[in-house]
Amino acid sequence: MQETLQLNQLPEPEQCIREVRKWLDERPQKPLAYVHSFGCQLNVADGEKLSGILSEMGYDFTNDVNEASLILYNTCAVRENAEDRVFGTLGSIKKLKTENPALILCVTGCMTAQKTVADKIAKSYRYVDIVLGSSAVGKLAQMIWAHMNGMRHAWDIETYIDIPEGVPTVRESTFKGAVPIMYGCNNFCTYCIVPYVRGRERSRTPEAIIEEVRGLIAEGYKEIMLLGQNVNSYAPECGMKFPELLREIDKIEGDYWIRFMSSHPKDAGTELMDALLECEHVAKHLHLPVQSGSNEILKRMNRRYTVEKYLRQVEYIRSKVPDFSLTTDLIVGFPDETEQDFQATLDIVKKVRYDNMYSFIYSKRTGTKAAEMPDGISEKEKSERMGRLLALQREISIENNQRFIGRTLKVLCDGESKKRSGRMTGRSSENMLVEFSGTPEMIGTFVYVKITESHSGMISGELS
């Protein structure tokens, strides 16, 4: 790789933005960028900031890779299939780069923070121009400037720990706003790559968060999603804990909901539950990833709670609201998970009766502790267990969803139903997917829906 410019000698980001904008303004047509974020909502939020920087530099946006003069993939490394999808996508656009060598191809995000991936891109995907590590949002402008100044491969795969404030943002929605409150993770669950690719936990100040939320509400946003890999470990260094932050945000006047994810059960105490129940604007749903119902597996996962502690948290919230809506994440087929361990997972699902779950077959991530653990369970066995878990959850969801029949729910309408014409969809405070009779003008507004039918993944009804 021929580097003629030194990365540490690049002009400041603001100067890079100004200069690139000048060059792009000279083009007869406004250049178009295609930006796609894979992975979790935090990555999508980073993608919105990367788009914000591109917009400042003079790019407009397109959903069609074929008409873009800059393509940016913001990647996810959490499971092997997430990485495979990115490599597949990169392979599929090689043709575009061959046909149009001026096309700028950028890869950012969690995958690039792994040396093995960076090496693979360097070797097998040499047509990628810019590679940026996770949390390097603030570096994009410099990399584009460097590339436009002749640096064939502008690469910077450091994981940066600073939290850039005031970065322009092009949001994907005009009524649902993601607000990252902390970045990184200190937990080192033994299966998980996130702490390695996102670095240690660091939190934004309460002032910066509250100001951003206030701004979004003033602009008419109806749902604010507070994001962090572990939101409820926010933020001893800021002198304000997460439940207090929720209460502070809740004081902002307006018609809006606050949601948050993800909460780690080791930090989900009664203070959090009380804030969730008592704050008027906080949506009445808690995503509490349990990962496994076996204490032995939880220990080997380094989750730092037991099934008993987790169930006490569930009991606490359900003692206040008996049908309180809970969802979870579960991993099936952790190394050497026995049939007994898996039965314990089915047992916790039966006890908690989640409204929904995200379940994943364990994926080995090089560099994590679990990758070194012996694993005698076949892929076939893991898939069968996953099938049994999904069947159980489906049964529970169908039964659970019936509790809404006859109730009128407040719903934030977010689009037209893909299945039935003339119907709209949205989410209730409990995070239930609701389908109802309505019109596209309702998108981005709250409506009230009387529920008449329940299905496995959805409830439906009529406007009331």
Chain residues binding ligand F3S by CB under 6 A are 39-40, 42-43, 76-78, 110, 193-194, 197-198
Nearer to ligand F3S, 48 or 430 (CB): 48
- Say which residue the tokens 């409506």 belong to: 447
**Of the candidates 149, 363, 408, 456, which one interacts with ligand SAM according to CB under 6 A?**
363
**Of the candidates 112, 229, 263, 425, which one interacts with ligand SF4 according to CB under 6 A?**
229
User: Can residue 195 be called a binding residue for ligand SF4 (CB under 6 A)?
Assistant: yes
Alpha-carbon 16 to chain mean position? 29
Cβ count near 438 (within 10 Å): 22
**Of the candidates 75, 114, 230, 393, which one interacts with ligand SAM according to CB under 6 A?**
230
User: Which phi and psi angles does 37 have, rounded to 5°?
Assistant: -105, 130
User: Can residue 192 be called a binding residue for ligand SF4 (CB under 6 A)?
Assistant: yes
Q: Which stretch binds ligand SAM (CB under 6 A): 125-133, 238-246, 347-355, 359-367?
A: 359-367
Q: Which stretch binds ligand SAM (CB under 6 A): 107-115, 127-135, 318-326, 362-370?
A: 362-370
d(CA 217, CA 132): 32
Distance in Å, CB of 137 to ligand SAM, minimum: 18
Nearer to ligand F3S, 110 or 189 (CB): 110
Nearer to ligand F3S, 38 or 436 (CB): 38
H-assigned helices in 3-155: 13-25, 41-56, 80-92, 94-99, 115-124, 140-148
Nearer to ligand SAM, 217 or 225 (CB): 225
**Of the candidates 73, 191, 256, 354, which one interacts with ligand SAM according to CB under 6 A?**
191
User: Can residue 365 be called a binding residue for ligand SAM (CB under 6 A)?
Assistant: yes
Say if residues 326 and 356 touch (Cβ distance below 8 Å): no
The total number of residues written for the chain in this structure: 464
Nearer to ligand SAM, 262 or 325 (CB): 262
Nearer to ligand SF4, 155 or 260 (CB): 260
Distance in Å, CB of 264 to ligand SF4, minimum: 5
User: Can residue 232 be called a binding residue for ligand SF4 (CB under 6 A)?
Assistant: no
What is the rounded end-to-end Cα distance, in angstroms, of the chain?
64
H-assigned helices in 290-378: 295-301, 307-320, 339-352
Distance in Å, CB of 302 to ligand SF4, minimum: 8
Q: How many residues bind ligand SAM (CB under 6 A)?
A: 18
User: Can residue 289 be called a binding residue for ligand SAM (CB under 6 A)?
Assistant: yes
HSE-up of residue 283 (Cα within 13 Å, Cβ side):
26
Say if residues 151 and 16 touch (Cβ distance below 8 Å): no
User: Which phi and psi angles does 382 have, rounded to 5°?
Assistant: -60, -45
Q: How does DSSP classify residue 252?
A: S
Distance in Å, CB of 195 to ligand SAM, minimum: 10
Distance in Å, CB of 154 to ligand F3S, minimum: 22
**Of the candidates 77, 143, 185, 227, which one interacts with ligand SF4 according to CB under 6 A?**
185
Contacts by 459-462, CB closer than 8 A, 24 or more apart: 459/401, 459/404, 459/405, 459/432, 459/433, 459/434, 459/435, 460/423, 460/434, 460/435, 460/436, 461/409, 461/434, 461/435, 461/436, 462/436, 462/437
Nearer to ligand F3S, 131 or 194 (CB): 194
d(CA 358, CA 18): 43
Among 412, 433, 423, 416, which residue's Cα sits nearest to residue 462?
423
The one-letter amino acid at 35: V
Q: Which stretch binds ligand SF4 (CB under 6 A): 181-189, 242-250, 373-381, 388-396?
A: 181-189
Among 195, 190, 186, which residue's Cα sits nearest to residue 301?
190
Which residue ranges make up the site for ligand SAM (CB under 6 A)?
Answer: 40, 78-79, 191-192, 194, 229-230, 262, 264, 289, 291, 329, 331, 360, 362-363, 365
For binding to ligand SF4 (CB under 6 A), which residues are involved?
185, 187-189, 192, 194-195, 229-230, 264
